[in-house]
Amino acid sequence: LATGLGEIDVQRVLAALASAAEPVEVHFRWRPQLPDPADELVLEAAVNGQADALITHNIRDFAAAAKRFKLRVATPGDYLEELIS
């Protein structure tokens, strides 16, 4: 894998993330904020859930909106590197 982790390690990281995940009730819709309307629910979940970060390969489309909401955006690889370092 690109991170240098083996498949078992990746499965462990995914399991840890899944166990830490919490359901988010969306109280406010902030549309439109993003170029792709299909991405809006991702941003709304992050904002309503008071996420520490939004993890995506699509940083370019999320960057401006994330800045407005003071939300950190990172790629999965960058975030994973932070978790394992």
- Tell me the residue range of the domain where 44 lies: 7-84
What is the pLDDT at residue 85? 81
2 inside domain: no
Q: Write the pLDDT tens digit of every residue in 29-41.
A: 989 999 999 999 9
Rounded to two decimals, the pTM is 0.76
15 inside domain: yes
29 inside domain: yes
1 inside domain: no
26 inside domain: yes
Structurally, how many domains does the chain consist of?
1
**84 vs 79: CA distance, rounded Å:** 9
Whether 3 has a pLDDT exceeding 70, the answer reads no
